Amino acid sequence: MEWKYTNIIVLILTLVVGISRSPAQLLDRIVAVIGDEPILESELNAQVQFFVFNNKVDPQTPRLREQVLQGMINEKLIVAKAIEDTIVVTDEEVQQQLDETIKQRIQQVGSEARLEEVYGMPLGRIKREYRDEMRKNLLASKLQQQRFGSTQIGRREVEEFYRRFDDSLGIVPEEVELTHIYVMPKFSERAKTAARKKLQSIIDSIRAGIDFGELAKRHSEDPGSAKLGGELGLVRRGQFVKEFETAVFALKENEISDLVETKFGFHIIQLLERRGDAVRARHTLLRIERTPASDSAAIALLDSLRDRTLVGESFAELARHYSEDKETAVIGGSLGTADLEQQVHRDFYPTIINLKQGEISRPAKLGDGFHIVLMKRRTPAHPVTLEQDYHRLEALALNFKRSEEYAAWLEELKSKIYWQMQL
């Protein structure tokens, strides 16, 4: 009886998909059903394209479509369970996740036009069509976090994992633990004055009635937002640099700021919309040229700090006091531990490749500023051992335990929620 009922639903959904399209269009096809939720072939095709693009695999790989479809089915099974368990996500969470996902996918494919080509629809429609999917993704994510986020593992389990997989764990690559002090060259007052004058004329033009977006397209030196009329999307508190965030959250909707100085230059900001702890804003940025004298002063400061560490002062304390990398300064300039070949940023690599453990580099260019780097620890490549790599093994064993629990849970869901693949 349940099988007949479900197949009637499939038939009805297929007819609805068919008659909702014009005769000139090819009929979309249902490739899977989970409960009463269909997955359409067009949805599967889009997911396959992104899987191929992101993982650099051959689109003709055997069973690729089936594997991608099974992943989509698994997600819908979890969504069905999340709905049953009355998991809740807010409209603000959905909008933020949607904006971040669209932005990420534009970066992945290279442009908005390419994204529209992949999805076969304009960007505005993509956002409308996938809003509900984004809500479901968040439901699934929250449920998984509730179910597996508190999973723990003990030393005995780590040791058992090591004994079981010892022969297949391979080699730990060379690792480095780095600490740095970062300094930005200071703007010259002459350059600041010129930028202030230009931005003030833009503010005067806006107040005279010229559209903010058009002026941003024409004058802003932020390459990421200028072509969008300065729009930055919906951004939560904590994601802007401090000076920009203070200014934008102090504005009322549609209000325009005075000049705001950040490490990037001078901005004028307009708040377009506030949603709880998130804002949608646009800005015009004018960068300020730094002179060779500014660079020389920054290098001289770093040389003096390096000399002070060589006679015994604490590198971490100097980083806390002088480093302008705010995220790392509070933790003594620590950049953590990274795989030398795979994880160290390419801009760091020439600076540290020849450093011995305990050595400090000479000042080196990094982005718009300069830094010195302390090689706090350098560990050669080696086979995995329980003694030397316990924390690495602990993380691997925990992930393995979660994956086993997740697989068992999915099988349980499959036994309780109807699903059918129709490739």
pLDDT level of residue 7 (50, 70, 90 thresholds):
very low
Residues in CB range of 91: below 8 A, 6 or more apart: 275
For range 390-403, the mean pLDDT: 94
Q: Is the pLDDT of residue 189 over 50?
A: yes
pLDDT higher than threshold 80 for residue 114: yes
pLDDT reading at 16 higher than 70: no
Where are the CATH 3.10.50.40 domain residues in the chain?
A: 173-186+291-383, 189-286
Pairwise pLDDT comparison (21 vs 35), residue with the higher score: 35
Please name the residues in contact with 53: beta carbons below 8 A apart, sequence gap of 6 or more. 108, 109
257 band by pLDDT with thresholds 50, 70 and 90: very high
> The domain 2-150+406-421: what is its CATH number?
1.10.4030.10
Instruction: Using the predicted structure, report yes or no on whether residue 187 has a pLDDT greater than 90.
Output: no
Q: What are phi and psi of 269, to 5 degrees?
A: -125, 140
Q: Which residues of 48-70 are buried (b: 16+ CB within 10 A; e: fewer)?
A: bebbbeeeeeeeeeeebbeebbb
Q: Which CATH class name applies to 189-286?
A: alpha beta
Residue at 35: amino acid letter: G
Confidence check: pLDDT of 386 > 70: yes
Query: Interior CA angle at 308 toward 302 and 314, to 5°?
Result: 100
Output 342 or 299, whichever has higher pLDDT: 299
Q: What is the pLDDT of residue 287?
A: 87
d(CA 94, CA 125) in angstroms, rounded, equals 16
- Determine which of 111-120, 197-206, 314-323, 398-407 has the lowest per-residue pLDDT on average: 111-120
Torsion of CA 213, 214, 218, 222, to 10 degrees: 10
Of 152-161, 197-206, 288-297, give the lowest mean pLDDT range. 288-297
Fold that domain 173-186+291-383 belongs to in CATH: Chitinase A; domain 3 (3.10.50)
Return d(Cα 243, Cα 345) in angstroms, integer: 27
Q: What is the pLDDT of residue 233?
A: 87
Residue-wise pLDDT for 41-99, tens only, equals: 988 988 898 888 778 888 889 999 999 999 999 999 999 999 889 999 998 899 888 88
Answer yes or no: is pLDDT of 302 > 60. yes
More confident residue, 412 or 293: 412
pLDDT over 90 at 264, yes or no: no
Distances (CA, A) of 393 to 6, 166, 385: 46, 10, 9
Q: What is the mean pLDDT of residues 274-280?
A: 87
Residue 364 reports pLDDT greater than 60 = yes
pLDDT of residue 404: 95
**pLDDT at residue 12 above 60?**
no
Percent of the chain with pLDDT over 90: 56
191 vs 200, more confident: 200
**Mean pLDDT across the chain:** 87
10: confidence class by pLDDT, cuts 50, 70, 90: very low
Structural contact between residues 174 and 378, judged by C-beta atoms closer than 8 angstroms: yes
In the prediction, which pLDDT does 278 show?
86
In the chain, CATH 1.10.4030.10 covers 2-150+406-421
Which pLDDT score is estimated for 27? 59
List pLDDT tens digits, range 135-179. 988 999 999 999 998 999 999 999 999 999 999 998 999 999 999
Higher pLDDT: 386 or 344? It is 386
In terms of Cα–Cα distance, which of 244, 237, 376 is closest to 309?
376
